[in-house]
Amino acid sequence: MARLSQPRIDQRPPLPLRSAGLRPNPYDLAIFIVVGAAFVVLAHGAREMAQPIGQLAGEPVTLDPANLPEYALRTVLRMFAAIIASLVFTFVVGTLAARSKRAELVIVPALDILQSVPVLGFLTFTVVYFINLFPGNQLGAECAAIFAIFTSQAWNMAFSFYQSLRTLPPDLEEAARHFRLSAWLRFWRLEAPFAAPGLIWNTMMSMSGGWFFVVASEAITVGDTTIKLPGIGSWLAVAIDRKDVPAVLMAVGTMALVILAYDQLLFRPIVAWADKFRFEQTASQRRPRSWVYDIWRHARLLRRLTVMASTLTGWLGAQLPRRTSPVAATERPNLTRLVDRLWLVVVLLGCAWALWRIVQFVDVSLGWHDVGQAFGLGLLTLLRVVILIALASLVWVPIGVWIGLRPNVATRVQPVAQFLAAFPANVLFPIAVVAIVHWRLDPDIWLSPLMVLGTQWYILFNVIAGASAFPTDLREAAALFRLRSWQWWRKVILPGILPYYVTGALTATGGSWNASIVAEVASWGTTRLEAAGLGAYIARASADGDYARVVLGIAVMSVMVVACNRVVWRPLYRLAERRYRLT
């Protein structure tokens, strides 16, 4: 019997709770103190974010070390607000794309395009909107920063959840149809638990990846509009401008402490809890551990409250309409096929209209020479992305498999990997600038590795997730047949982690295009280097407030990313669904 959580079909009222089970113990007290402190900190941060926007005038960010804890709090609140929005987005959009062919026809290409749009591209057109939404209040700028961080987190998580739902084992789907589960129970009892291991690792990666763009989201410069929100990102931007190395090191140290804190208090307990959702036929001998999760399990009152909440959720789900038949339809009606074709026509017409509007805009504002220039620069950036992703895959796939197959190692590596993924590559840009200038190197070549510094971790985290979720019984079967070396990689582990690797490589590719905005332009004080590419083109146009070239650059980048996804990554997705699906 698989260890995946099974649907609760017995909807009888729960037995009355014993009074002894409602008495709190010391573990309940400890968790209550932590949760209470978190609410106090949240209330303080929310109050500071709602201050008048006039406080951001002048020098709102100083390099006084006494302000660094406050800045760290503000940044963490923005990132958690973005990650919560990303989770809601993932559950809604990923589920729609996996369940509905019509929705998938729109959502998947839209995600391809959105993940390729750089953070600066979103900020260029959203800062003024959010500021006008909350006139005279910092909430507008805060919402713009949160939205920018959201755009660096959501697409990776949505792709992961969508991939997991598309590779749901057929026997579990058959069981769900047999029990006639409602859509609500099917989601919470089957789909979400099955997708949990991969989604959790991708959520950690998205949380860490948000740090990469925190400088761009908190120190916003679009044309004549400049806003610096108090936070670690703004601190880093000011420190880099002033060449203040001690301030940069203090910011990095603070980031390390923050990452360690939310790893221990949040992500590691969630990883330990989600281990029970692994789909396998035999129990794993090594399971991830967390001292916070152990405290939660020993907390008497909280466990009772959790059981009550789970029972209530199951009861509410049982009230929803169930499937009318336990057997799936084998042939769709002709009317449904006709509607599908009409929907395809509507989508194609919408895409043609959008493309025509872009062509009209470019024809009026720019010349076709500008279009050719943008495509030429895009090809240079494409070449960098392909080479860097190939090199990153060769390095991190074996390492990720080795880590993922060893839960004890994964537990120790987890905070280190999160810190490396969260480490802002902007801190290394000055070192790269100084080295390139000192040794008179070619910026077109030596600025390129900066693009993959923050995005290579998508590959590592997804491979670790895939190896961690790899069924123990298949590993035991491979050992029984004595598969070794290349045969083991080709026949066992690579097919097993393929859906996860495709998700990681796809999002790493989109993230590298996104990172080209900041990686192809590096500065240290007054020294500024540029590499020829589409990222530098968009960054220059955004700084100049040249909206026509910003639109052109984003359109070219989106076309190239979607073309790569359709030619390379989507066929690999289909291969994983067709040949390497767990059965």
User: Distance (Å, rounded) from C-alpha 359 to C-alpha 483?
Assistant: 56
Q: Higher confidence at residue 273 or residue 427?
A: 273
Q: Specify which of 194-198, 320-324, 431-435 reaches the highest per-range mean pLDDT.
A: 194-198
CB atoms within 10 A of CB 457: 28
CA angle 290, 294, 296 (to 5 degrees): 115
CB atoms within 10 A of CB 429: 21
Report the share of the chain in percent with pLDDT over 90.
Answer: 9
**288, two tokens:** 């991830």
| pLDDT the model gives residue 546 | 81
- Give the confidence band of 33 by pLDDT, cuts at 50, 70, 90: confident
pLDDT at 128 over 50: yes
| pLDDT the model gives residue 6 | 44
| pLDDT the model gives residue 93 | 92
pLDDT at 224 over 50: yes
| pLDDT the model gives residue 393 | 94
pLDDT at 332 over 60: no
In this prediction, residues 474-502 reach a mean pLDDT of 82
pLDDT at 90 over 90: yes
Among 283-292, 507-516, 553-562, whose mean pLDDT is lowest? Answer: 283-292
> Are 542 and 117 spatial neighbours (Cβ–Cβ below 8 Å)?
no
pLDDT at 89 over 90: yes
Q: Please state, rounded to an integer, the average pLDDT across all residues of the chain.
A: 79
Domain locations in the chain as residue ranges: 63-281+338-579
Q: Specify which of 13-17, 153-157, 276-280 reaches the highest per-range mean pLDDT.
A: 153-157
Contacts (Cβ under 8 Å, ≥6 apart) of 567: none
In this prediction, residues 342-366 reach a mean pLDDT of 77
Report the share of the chain in percent with pLDDT over 70.
Answer: 84
CB atoms within 10 A of CB 205: 31
In this prediction, residues 211-222 reach a mean pLDDT of 72
Query: Rounded to two decimals, what is the model's pTM?
Result: 0.75
- Give the confidence band of 280 by pLDDT, cuts at 50, 70, 90: low
pLDDT at 97 over 60: yes
In this prediction, residues 18-22 reach a mean pLDDT of 51
Arch. (CATH architecture) of 63-281+338-579: Orthogonal Bundle (1.10)
pLDDT at 178 over 50: yes
User: Distance (Å, rounded) from C-alpha 354 to C-alpha 113?
Assistant: 13
User: Distance (Å, rounded) from C-alpha 103 to C-alpha 109?
Assistant: 10
| pLDDT the model gives residue 10 | 42
* 219-222 and 225-228 beta bridge pairing: antiparallel
CB atoms within 10 A of CB 29: 12
DSSP state letters, 404-424: HT-HHHHHHHHHHHHHHHHS-
| pLDDT the model gives residue 433 | 78
In this prediction, residues 179-202 reach a mean pLDDT of 83
Entry field: residues in the chain: 583
Q: Higher confidence at residue 262 or residue 358?
A: 262
- Give the confidence band of 19 by pLDDT, cuts at 50, 70, 90: very low
| pLDDT the model gives residue 331 | 46
In this prediction, residues 162-187 reach a mean pLDDT of 82
| pLDDT the model gives residue 551 | 81
* Three-class DSSP labels, 40-77: HHHHHHHHHHCCEHHHHCCCCCCCCHHHHHHHHHHHHH
> What pLDDT, in 10s, does the model give residues 131-156?
888 887 888 888 888 888 898 888 88
CB atoms within 10 A of CB 242: 12
pLDDT at 201 over 50: yes
Beta bridge partners of 530: 521
CB-based burial of residue 61 (10 Å sphere; 0-12 exposed, 13-18 middle, 19+ buried)? buried
